[in-house]
Amino acid sequence: MGAATIVKTRVMVNGLSPNCDKGKMARDVATAVIKSGDFELHGYSLGGKSLNALNGSERRVDIAGQTVQLYSPNERMYFAVDSQFHPPDLVVDATRSGAILTNGRYYIAQKWNFLMMTTGSDTKTLSAELKNSGVKGIIVPNTAAEMVEFLAVLGKFAVEHKGQMNNCVLNVIESHQKEKEETSATAKEAIEYFKELGIENRNITMLRRQEMQTAIGVPEAHHGRHGWHTYEITGYGLNQTLTELHTRLWIFLSESPVFRYYKRTENEATPGNAQISCISKEGDVAFELKYTNVSNPFVGGQLQQLKVSQMINGGAVYAKGALDILRSMRREIGEG
């Protein structure tokens, strides 16, 4: 009796570009799809408007030996008359925040189930239109399991302690490759949770210049593909909620299954100071939590500081997370 034939799920990855400096997230996901044993990459992809200036031969991109034909957003109608085109089983959208609503509405109209790997001002509108559409659509600012769980923990804590950190100040540093022009959607979501906690005094620093990235420790090899975020919360005076947030995040880093195979280092030797770090086996993902609580006469009493750092180099962790989400979607659609 022969081995059972594996029927692979056909995945269209949108956002690919013939320019290697663009569409990096889409390229990472497309490569992961090809290398997986249960997915196959669709031969077509929707790219950006810049494709309108290219001819036929320039509208192709090679992904791990497979050629993908690229179409601009205004050329979607060609799919209906192209005899070689077959609808995808699932779609991954890794385009840009400004295309969320237009692309999402197109997927809904075509009845294509999709994963949207970017968010923006139209996210709520698209989420509302997904209801009762019969289409399975997942919209996330980040597909790395570690980041997804961090945001879930922070979001739950914000709901439970709404407005209780109004004597705190938040400083955010987010570093990404120079092509990323907007503030990270992941950072934006985290900042919204801190705002819900009552922190109105916030400062955000975007690092896109490579010399500044080197200064904070980003390896030169990853200047072109990384996501480093640091959230520093300072409490002037004793704030019990800030202490509780430290405890909650410490438990997250020490007990969450997503860090099961990470190298973990803990240090609580110094009174009022605690630090925990988790680094993946591959070394491409690291989380660090630092907490200090000291007496400071210059601010009239206690000074608390909680610093959460997240460092991701390369795009493999996002691509892996995207495929995990696609597998979950496939199961839910099959069961439905």
149-172: pLDDT as tens digits? 999 999 999 999 999 999 899 999
pLDDT given at position 297: 59
pLDDT digits (tens, 9 = 90+) for 208-267: 999 999 999 999 999 999 999 999 999 987 789 999 999 999 999 999 999 999 999 998
**297-317, pLDDT tens digit by residue?**
565 567 899 999 999 999 999
Instruction: Indicate the CATH number for domain 145-315.
Output: 3.30.360
Domain with CATH 3.30.360 in the chain: 145-315
Predicted confidence at residue 174, as pLDDT, reads 96
Residue 5 pLDDT grade (very low, low, confident, very high; cuts 50, 70, 90)? low
With contact defined as beta carbons under 8 Å apart, do 126 and 139 qualify?
Answer: yes
Tokens of 172: 């955010």
By CB atoms closer than 10 A (0-12, 13-18, 19+), residue 20 is: exposed
In this model, does residue 269 exceed pLDDT 60?
Answer: no
Question: For position 4, what pLDDT does the model report?
Answer: 57
Task: Kindly state the tokens that stand for 204.
Answer: 């955000």
- For CATH 3.40.50.720, the residue range(s) in the chain are 9-139
Q: Vertex 271, ends 269 and 272: CA angle to 5°? A: 120
Rounded mean pLDDT of the chain?
89
**Which CATH architecture describes the domain 9-139?**
3-Layer(aba) Sandwich (3.40)
Asked if 284 and 222 touch (Cβ cutoff 8 Å), the reply is: no
**Both tokens of residue 287?**
């989380």
Model pTM above 0.95: no
Pairing of strands 114-116, 90-93: parallel
Reported as a single tens digit per residue, the pLDDT across 37-77 is: 999 999 999 887 778 777 777 888 999 999 998 988 888 87
